[in-house]
Amino acid sequence: MKKISDSTIHRLSKYLHTLETLEKNNIQTISSEKIAKIEQITSANFRKDLSFFGSFGRRGLGYNVSSLKIQIQNILGLNRSWNIALIGIGNLGTALIDYNELKRRDLHVRCIFDKNPQKIGKKIKGLEVLDIKRLPEEIKKQIIQIGIITTPAPAAQHIADMLMDAGIRAILNFAPKTLAAREGAMIRTEDTTTPLQTLTYYLSHTKPATK
């Protein structure tokens, strides 16, 4: 299959959310022009993104909101449920366990791990914190497909390796450190401080608008 750019996938995920909102507001049809305005992109960009996967609109009429929503769900692999293991039970990890936006998309945190003996055995939001040593067996037992790393940076690569050893091919890493992925595996690093730094950069290099 042709390689699709990361930006396209990123935007598809946004379109999906917008379509869900439109559907909730009982809007049945939408043109590329209108959705582009909401997304703050050009309509050609929207149409081109979709064109990589097929043609989903009707010329002269636009797109059917509900059916396009389902099509994008299918493209993104959201037409099924996914099981997640989360490693590192700090503030962020705890927040993610029952994050509603995940559940809504049928993305479920099934097991949680930490290496701190003080935390192991405790129940958090209905899940028992397991010893990190039990990761390989639990990944298999619970049929986990995705790992989320919310440990401090120094531990992150080791955890990623454990996950990949256990057959995990998709990892979301919140530790602020680029991790090495094996052949056939994908690791996405999302550092919360990075977007803030683009903001401090912006503030430092621009002046307030004068009106």
- Tokens representing 198 are 């683009």
Q: Is 36 helix (H, G, I), strand (E, B) or coil?
A: helix
Q: How far is the CB of 200 from DNA (least distance, A)?
A: 19
Rounded CA-CA distance 3/188 in Å is 17
33 forms part of the interface with DNA (CB under 7 A): yes
178 forms part of the interface with DNA (CB under 7 A): no
Neighbours of 32 (CB within 10 A): 20
Rounded CA-CA distance 152/159 in Å is 11
83 binds, among DNA, a second copy, none (CB under 5 to 8 A by kind): none
Q: How far is the CB of 57 from DNA (least distance, A)?
A: 3
Q: Is 137 left (phi over 0), alpha (psi -120 to 50) or beta?
A: alpha
1 forms part of the interface with a second copy (CB under 8 A): yes
Sheet (strand 127-131) strand order: 123-124, 127-131, 107-114, 82-87, 146-149, 170-173, 186-189
Contact criterion met (CB below 8 Å) for 171 and 189? no
What is the x/- site pattern for a second copy, positions 8-47, by CB under 8 A? -xx-xxx-xxx--x----------------xxx-------
Q: Is 15 helix (H, G, I), strand (E, B) or coil?
A: helix
208 forms part of the interface with a second copy (CB under 8 A): yes
Burial 35-44 (b: 16+ CB within 10 A, else e): bbeebebeee
Among residues 36 and 131, whose Cβ is nearest to a second copy?
36
Contacts with a second copy in 51-110 (CB under 8 A)?
75-78, 82, 90-92, 94-96, 98-99, 101-102, 105, 107
Q: Which residues make up the interface to a second copy (CB under 8 A)?
A: 1, 6, 9-10, 12-14, 16-18, 21, 38-40, 75-78, 82, 90-92, 94-96, 98-99, 101-102, 105, 107, 145-146, 153, 167, 169-172, 176-178, 180, 182-186, 188, 190-206, 208-209
Residues at the contact surface with DNA, assessed by CB under 7 A: 3, 5-8, 30-33, 41-45, 47-48, 50-51, 55-63
